Amino acid sequence: MPDSVLNGYGDDPWLLVVQGVEGGLHETENTYLMYYLFSRALGSTSRSSAYLAVYSFDQVYRAV
């Protein structure tokens, strides 16, 4: 569930993770991750919804 990790203060933990990751993912795995981040952006628990949406939107749009 995208909203299972709470974000009461500061930046979203998922945003911090994806910004700090080095290396790449297989295209399928990356698409799944972007869907997850976009779903989290649309939820109610993230304080970084706009950043998550911008970060993941292009990949989700291309996949759809």
Q: What is the pLDDT of residue 24?
A: 82
Query: Model confidence over 9-62: pLDDT tens digits?
Result: 888 888 898 888 888 888 999 999 999 999 999 998 898 999 999 999 999 999
Q: What is the pLDDT of residue 4?
A: 79
Write down how long the chain is.
64
Residue 3's nearest CA partner among 14, 11, 17 is 14
* Position 6 pLDDT exceeds 90: no
DSSP 2: G
* Position 1 pLDDT exceeds 90: no
Residues 6+ apart with CB under 8 A from 11: 47, 48, 51
Q: Are 2 and 43 in contact (CB under 8 A)?
A: yes
